[in-house]
Structure 1
């Protein structure tokens, strides 16, 4: 019987949510590097794989660096006997011809592929250059963060601080944020700022996600999930502890994931695109200033 990867992953996330935990919140606390990456290529994982590897990280591994069984052997090391790996997923585009005629047009069909990876902490015989993560960034948890502030400015988003509640207004394309002093500290402030900034990427002039029906429960829950994940991805990158912006949406997310087994993959993919879009703005700004 053919396995349904979408349903399997969705069921895992629903189980976590039903237990009252959002699996993208704080599994990386005190972990140097924060963003899961391949230990050989140093390429960060993206989409749903980030969350799945954060769930694995909760086992207490020192660094979020992963590799396949074969990669460990190629590096002169090996996975310890009895260790269980973590499944990660990639979409591979397969070229399919409509008929046997070589001149017939081919179409690309997305196929889900599953791979098993192991944390470097589950391996032996690997060099330190492979196992060592990036050192944790030193910062003051009670003060504004220059690097994160620079990132916010580089987006050129209209962020109005000190104006009551935190929200994004699509029709007027601006973000409202309470003053920094209204938050418990930097972690909470930047988590909320990144959440609203992810909503900001949905504007028709940017990534053009549908915000028209934002307050229909399922559509709204889906966009809130994108913003939650986008904020989590960015918080991890800057070394902030994530937080749950809208805990009340957990029941809506369970309903959403039960109704659509691909909803979590879609939300993760859109959140990754949003984070990439914002990074692109920051890079462009830095290049223009150079």
Structure 2
């Protein structure tokens, strides 16, 4: 069990002091400062030998969510590591907070982002790059173009560097070249990701961050692609290594500049614009620069309206970056108004995109010209969002790099987590300067339920035919039937009733034969279920993670190969970005193979009857948009009694449900989701759960049952 899971599982248990010390030792060894600090604090404040633990805030796993993987990883280097370096490594929050604090401190200290001033560089050769590979640092690592200064309070902030030689090296690379590092030189962080390969088929278990070791494990045991698809979990983990500026070293040899000194940076800037293969319509009227998504039109004032040509091109690059967000291009959310999170995010993407494009064209550290009033308001919104989400800058910088790659026509083959090839090539386990594992993406394979309903969900390509095996629709309870015989002298009236279709209570089994329990934490929460006219109702106000819970329930069925039809009105169906994000956040690769999604039903009542003949589970988000009557629902539940229905219903302020309470007629389970601005504070509780415990509480954010049994007395709380 990994360190984060071990820590989170302490909640609700009684733990010996020695056990906490053991976890503390492990946390320190793996440099997980968040866990180490929290346990250290508890041990220092309490002398108890036994502790009743209630964790108030769970630690997030080291791995990234599916949405974060698609956004962040493409701009980071992948490095295979030796297991001795630790399977879990540094808490990702440490890294996110490190970058976020630098940006916030810079805005507060300098008054604006570090590149919001007129600096003109000597060309793309002036951008920071790795000494050995000569590759420029992209995405969030672009911050290596800026030095870190410290104020009187010791808070770091960024200022542009005037490089002599724009290179960075690790300490080992400095030693290998025979150079030496000047005294008191400060290290900088380069962010990268490594991969945890975790294989478990019930018989074989293997976990490593060393790709070569995993490749050898696959070959030794003759594992097939099908084995890997079924039992391999790959978890990307964000980490960092330290580098030093080449200007702080002595004895290094530098290559001759590769840039063409005859190239005018302004000409280079125009050539980047001209090379955009899928541009919007350009217009050059008036005095305002803007991109209009509805018409896909980009307008620029005349170049003479700008004080400097460089400012003109930087503004042009800003609007070009916006244009990549169009639905037909990279499809970003561009609906936000000033002051909103989505607006702040898109503006930061465009601002960073302009900086990256300026670097490409040899115009470093320019910015579009904004008024002091705008910058003050913009910085206030930006700081607020950075404080609320320490991934905000990292995600924006990654999206910016993706936008620039799109404009420049660069390959996007590496824009997802790398997939294991059939015969992986040998890669070095050392850090910078060695080979990187290239990434490869295959999409669009129809599997499981998706194929039968004609719905395509992006999954890993499978070149082997799936092994055929018979799997029950639900996991049946193993309790044997134990019918009691009817007493010989029973009432004659009862015998007559049996002829009319009644069953004697004396013949009832100890438990219905088709009772089942779903796997995982969802199963612990829902407990025993029976697919007889089953209706699970999920209700709650806005911002209560109802849809997230519904998708997690769908995944639990999918993981045991029970087909699910998911009707998603709220998010707009499978083509919606929100739906894709929801799938990535709330489902596993195994589960989503058996989930098919549709966004709209033209004839709901007729189409639902068709679904009942194909699947075992039908989930609708929401029941109001489904537009069937209570009588029609009752007909469907009666005609198809083995279908499990799950509906989402939004609750009004007065407690009534939209569409009327009639649709909730006789549900077998009622789940209430509490609303809260912070997703971590949203929980599901059971108002009704036929024959089960109602005291359980489930976290949609952490995907687990929390506070399962409340203790009368707690010696302390881990905060």
- TM interval, shorter chain, is 0.7 to 0.9
Question: Residues 209-220 of structure 1: matches in 2 within 5 Å?
Answer: 209-215=332-338, 217-220=340-343
Aligned to 1:152: 273
Task: Say which SS state the counterpart of residue 55 (structure 1) adopts.
Answer: strand
Q: Note the alpha carbon deviations across 1:179-217, whole angstroms, 9 max, x for none.
A: 111111211100100000000011111111111335561
Q: Which residue number in structure 2 is paired with residue 243 of structure 1? A: 367
Q: Which residue of 2 aligns with 1:78?
A: 180
Task: Note if contact 1:31-1:62 (Cα within 8 Å) is conserved in structure 2.
Answer: no
In the TM superposition, 1:163-174 aligns within 5 A as 163-174=286-297
- Pairing of 1:6-17 with structure 2 (within 5 A): 6-17=96-107
Report what 1:256 is aligned to. 385
Q: Could you say which residue in structure 2 is the equivalent of 1:269? A: 398
* Alignment gaps of 5+ in structure 1: 283-290
Q: 1:62 aligns with which of 145, 150, 164?
A: 164
Equivalences for residues 46-57 of structure 1 within 5 A: 46-55=138-147
Structure with greater helix share of residues? 1
Is the CA contact (8 Å cut-off) linking 2:311 and 2:368 kept in structure 1? no
| 3-state SS of paired residue (2:132) | coil
Distance in 2 of aligned mates of 1:183 and 1:275: 23
Give, in whole Å, the separation in 2 of the partners of 1:125 and 1:12: 31
1:139 Cα deviation from its structure 2 partner? 7.1
Moved more, 73-82 or 269-278: 73-82
Q: CA deviation at 1:135?
A: 5.6
Distance (Å, rounded) in 2 between the aligned partners of 1:28 and 1:117: 25
Q: Distance in 2 between matches of 1:27 and 1:78?
A: 35
CA contact (8 A) 2:121 2:363 kept: no
Give the structure 1 partner of residue 515 of structure 2.
Answer: none
**CA RMSD of the aligned region, Å?**
2.6
SS in 2 for 1:8: helix
CA contact 1:98–1:106 (8 Å) conserved in 2? yes
- Contact persistence 1:136–1:239 (CA under 8 A): no
Residue pair 2:114, 2:160 contacting (<8 A) in 1 also: no
Indicate if the aligned counterparts of 1:47 and 1:265 stay in contact, CA closer than 8 A.
yes
Alignment length, in residue pairs? 277
- Rounded Cα–Cα distance in structure 1 between residues aligned with 2:118 and 2:389: 25
Q: Counterpart in 2 of 1:124?
A: 250
In structure 1, what is the Cα distance between the partners aligned to 2:119 and 2:179?
A: 25
Pairwise CA distance, 1:151: 1.8
Residue 109 (structure 1) aligns with = 235
How far residue 76 of structure 1 moved from its aligned partner, in angstroms, is 2.3
Q: Does 1:23 align with 2:114?
A: yes
Once the two structures are superposed, residues 99-128 of structure 1 have per-residue CA deviations (whole angstroms, 9 ceiling, x without a partner) of 654455222222111111111101111113
Secondary structure of 1:159's match?
strand
Counterpart mapping for 1:185-200 below 5 A: 185-200=308-323
**2:336, 2:392 → 1: CA distance?**
17
Seen in structure 2, the aligned counterparts of structure 1 residues 245 and 227 have a Cα distance that, compared at 3 Å, is farther
Change (3 A) 1:28 1:21: same
CA distance in 1, matches of 2:129, 2:389: 28
SS of 1:13 mapped into structure 2: helix
TM-aligned CA distance change 1:137 to 1:273, over 3 Å: farther
Q: Look up the match of 2:301.
A: 178
Structure 2, unmatched stretches of 5+, are 1-32, 35-90, 149-158, 205-226, 412-719
C-alpha contact 1:31 1:136 (8 A) present in aligned 2? no
Provide the rounded CA distance (Å) in 1 between the counterparts of 2:183 and 2:122.
25
Distance 1:109 1:165, change over 3 A: same
Q: CA deviation at 1:38?
A: 0.7
Quote the Cα distance in structure 2 between the aligned partners of 1:116 and 1:86. Answer: 5
1:21 to partner: Cα distance: 2.9
CA contact under 8 A between 2:284 and 2:299: conserved in structure 1?
A: yes
Q: Name the stretch that deviates more: 201-210 or 46-55.
A: 46-55
Paired residues of 1:24 and 1:51 also in contact (CA < 8 A): no
Query: Is the contact made by 1:164 and 1:176 (CA closer than 8 Å) also made in structure 2?
Result: no
Q: Is the 8 A contact 1:6 1:261 kept in 2?
A: yes
The structure-2 alpha-carbon separation of the partners of 1:63 and 1:237, relative to structure 1 and needing over 3 Å to count, comes to farther
More RCO (CA 8 Å, sep 6+): 1
Most deviating of 36-45 and 24-33: 24-33
Secondary structure of 1:274 counterpart? helix
Structure-2 separation of matches of 1:176 and 1:58: 30
Which residue is 1:88 aligned to?
A: 190
Q: 2: distance between equivalents of 1:234 and 1:252?
A: 24
For residues 144-169 of structure 1, what are the alpha-carbon distances to aligned partners after superposition, in whole Å with 9 as ceiling and x for unaligned? x3322222122152221234310000
Q: Matches of 1:124 and 1:228 in 2, distance apart?
A: 36
> What secondary structure, in the 3-state scheme, does the structure 1 residue paired with 2:287 have?
coil
| 2:326 matched residue in structure 1 | 203
Q: 1:161 to 1:124 in 2, by over 3 A?
A: same
Whole-angstrom distance in 1 between the partners of 2:259 and 2:193: 31
Q: For the structure 1 residues 226 and 75, does the alpha-carbon distance in structure 2 shift closer, same or farther, using more than 3 Å as the test?
A: same
